[in-house]
Structure 1
Amino acid sequence: MSRHPAARQRQQRHVHAVLRHIDRHLDQPLDLVALAAVAHVSPFHFHRVFRAWTGENLGDYLSRRRLTLAACWLCNEPAASVLTLALRAGFASGEAFSRAFKARFGLSPSQWRGASAAKRQELRNLDQAAQVALRHDGSVFSDLEPDMHVTLCQRPAVTVAYLRHTGPYGQAIAEFWRDQFVPWLHAQALLPYAKYGIGHDNPQLTDPAQCRYDACVALPPGYAPPADMLTMTIPGGLYAVYDFRGSVPEIAQAWTALFAEWLPASGWGVDARPCFEFYPEDAFFDPATGEFSCQICLAVRPLNS
């Protein structure tokens, strides 16, 4: 990896573009030549660059992401067959999927689907013994809201600039906003604009050290981002939206409730677009208590009949 700051920033943008491309095409064959083109490197150098930035081989990353998605689908889409979900996750056969799934999570796909959430957490094979609970912040999750008011809405695509945090969610994200993201917004004169928080990985299924989070700000019309600024487009489309107000531990519980309670009973499934928190320009925040408001947005699609 280059030590020159401009070259390093350029390579970081390209690798992030590769990760977005992979996450949105996990149900399709991913060709090395095409991925190298997205990364703006030769196929010969791609694996070295990918591992340098992610800490994983490409094959390991693809397998982890596909299995993580499939684990969510198994819980959220009870009517879909294991084979259907295996093929959607990019596996060539149900047998190959079942072997890989059990090697990672310690349960077969059918056992995973039938187990309670607590049992899945206890038995999954991710070396997270310290992360027994279900909330992002590590506290025990209980008392889900029985009547969450969730609405469906079409959201436009939006171009954002962002900073990335890799590591555990929860309080670490609040500190990332306070210590890095907000000062950066001040420096870029972007503080007044709408903000987004994108957690790319499910912390119940992913090693906390590998969880990726992007703190984003919407770019105003006519804004020309500097060459070293990370930018991307958050896709538009149909989202399920929950209006949240509370604290950092409570938003972790709200995310869990949406996926564990609302989604399976909703008749909708999640697709490959990122889910995010939306903070409008007038979003509430009380620095004295840490209470804040936002919209939790799940990218949804109709379930196959």
Structure 2
Amino acid sequence: MNDARNEYERRMNRVLDHIDRNLDAQLDLPALADIANFSRYHFHRIFAGWMGETIGDYVRRRRLEVAAGKLAAGGAVLEVALSTSFGSGEAFARAFKARFGSTPTEWRANTPERIAAFLAGLRAQNSNFDQVNRKHGQAGNGDNGEHGDSNHPYGENTMDVKIIDLPPSRVAYRRHIGPYGPAIGEFWGRTMMPWILGNGLANATCYGIGHDDPSLTPADKCRYDACVEIPDGFEPGGQFSVANLPGGRYAVTRYSGAPRDIGPVWNRLMKEWLPSSGLQCDERPCFERYENLVTQSDGSFTCDICIPVKAL
């Protein structure tokens, strides 16, 4: 039973990855079924059962979410529409307004206010979390002067960002679908770490890849890959799949603090630092890089936040 479910998971991940790489192309059901090696006749029902939405709804949602991100970065409406496989600006505008409640032009113009509202929501969530912790007699993170982003997680201090070249790496990964935040830490602790230790990979570099923007994608649809670097010839088996992370130039900032505080740092890097840097993201994935997955007694940890960059 477990082996069969593992195989389903690997096949479905292949389909999701293919869709994301080809949002600007025609995606037809028979071709996707062939990628998953499932029956063409039954694949639509299999996909809907696994993902909780039809293939058509999933592809439409991903195209609009990617388009929203491109608009927020200042993309031209027609160029964004064509890059996400909408045949015209009019069709794109109708679909975009139905999904996000505003026109593409309004969305682009209102980006600063929308980001501020999203970060304010994160601040409120973190404040509530701290209050609950204190009620249970747990130490809060707010008074810890060691981590600048714990005291000033929303932009009061200057980010230390380096531009470096990273080598490519071969990784084994498991995918988590659901809300980011504490659930990701639990996924690493309960699912990944026992497997990593059991396979002699305790000293290997690990990566966390969040494929979705939680300000755009419903929390229960967010995808996260927990990855560990593996040597050539190592085949993980089970529910693990293998991927190759591309090397190249990345903007990197180090984060130390509680898991709940890392989201605002990601947002500062993408929404504040990047637009003023003279650089832009390319199509490679963003990730968190962990050279040591050891956490402190309060649950805090250290990682490098890495975003792929190229010249404007």
* Residue among 105, 126, 139 paired with 1:139: 126
Match of 2:64 among 64, 67, 70: 67
Rounded to whole Å, the distance in 2 between the matches of 1:264 and 1:68 is 19
Please state whether the residue corresponding to 1:44 is helix, strand or coil.
coil
Contact kept, 8 Å, 2:96 with 2:102, in 1: the verdict is: yes
C-alpha change, 1:204 and 1:186, in structure 2 (3 Å) is same
What is the DSSP-based 3-state SS (H/G/I as helix, E as strand, rest coil) of the residue aligned with 1:139? helix
Q: Partner of 2:79 in structure 1?
A: 84
SS in 2 for 1:261: helix
Corresponding position: 1:202 with 2:180 = no
Q: CA distance change for structure 1 residues 121 and 112 in 2, over 3 Å: closer, same or farther?
A: farther
Change (3 A) 1:302 1:43: farther
Q: Which residue of 2 aligns with 1:45?
A: 42
Aligned equivalents of 1:45 and 1:274: distance in 2?
31
Distance 2:113 2:35 in 1: 40
Equivalent residue for 2:231, pick from 213, 220, 238: 220
**Equivalent residue, structure 1, for 2:91:** 96
Residues in 1 aligned to 2:123 and 2:38: alpha-carbon distance in whole angstroms = 36
Asked whether the 8 Å contact 1:275–1:298 carries over to 2, the reply is: yes
Q: Which one-letter code corresponds to 2:44 in the other structure?
A: H
Q: Which residue of 2 aligns with 1:114?
A: 109
Q: How far apart are 1:133 and its partner, in Å? A: 4.5
Shift of 1:248: 1.3
Report the Cα offset of residue 94 of structure 1: 0.8
Distance apart, 1:14 and its partner CA: 1.1
Query: What is the CA distance between 1:118 and its match in structure 2?
Result: 4.2
Question: Could you tell me which of 148, 173, 184 is aligned with 1:173?
Answer: 184
Distance change >3 Å, CA 267–CA 252, structure 1 → 2:
same
Q: Is the 8 A contact 1:195 1:279 kept in 2?
A: yes
Aligned pairs for 1:263-278 within 5 A: 263-278=274-289
- Match of 1:297? 306
Deviation per residue, 1:209-266 (Å, 9 max, x gap)? 1111111111124423235532222233332222222221331111010111012223
Question: Does the CA-based 8 Å contact 2:163-2:252 persist in structure 1?
Answer: yes
- CA distance in structure 2 between the aligned counterparts of 1:35 and 1:137, rounded to whole angstroms: 41
One-letter amino acid of the structure 2 residue matched with residue 31 of structure 1: D
1:170 Cα deviation from its structure 2 partner: 1.3
Seen in structure 2, the aligned counterparts of structure 1 residues 152 and 137 have a Cα distance that, compared at 3 Å, is: farther
Deviation at 1:112, TM superposition (A): 0.8
Q: Determine the C-alpha separation between the residues in 2 that align with 1:243 and 1:40.
A: 41
Q: In the alignment, residue 283 of structure 2 is paired with which amino acid?
A: A
**Structure 2 unaligned residues grouped into runs of 5+:** 128-151
Residues in 2 aligned to 1:239 and 1:289: alpha-carbon distance in whole angstroms: 30
| Structure possessing the higher radius of gyration over alpha carbons | 2
2:252 counterpart SS class: strand
Aligned to 1:27: 24
If the length of structure 1 is used for normalisation, what is the TM-score?
0.85
Partner SS, residue 257 of structure 1 = helix
2:171 and 2:229 in contact (8 A); partners too? yes
Change (3 A) 1:257 1:120: closer
TM-score (norm 2): 0.83
Match of 2:15 in 1: 18
Mapped contact 1:132–1:138 kept (Cα < 8 A) = no
Q: Larger helix proportion, structure 1 or 2?
A: 2
Q: Which runs of 5+ in 1 are unaligned?
A: 123-130
1:243 aligns with 2:230: no
Query: Aligned partner of 1:95: which letter?
Result: E
Identity %: 45
Separation of aligned partners in 1, 2:24 and 2:58: 14
CA deviation string 1:177-198 (max 9, x = no partner): 2222212322333222110111
Match of 2:141 in 1: none
Matching of residue 234 in structure 1 with residue 245 in structure 2: yes
Query: Is 1:262 aligned to residue 262 of structure 2?
Result: no
Q: Distance in 2 between matches of 1:81 and 1:58?
A: 27
- Aligned Cα RMSD in Å? 2.5
The one-letter code sitting in structure 2 at the alignment partner of 1:106 is G
- 2:104 maps to a residue whose letter is P
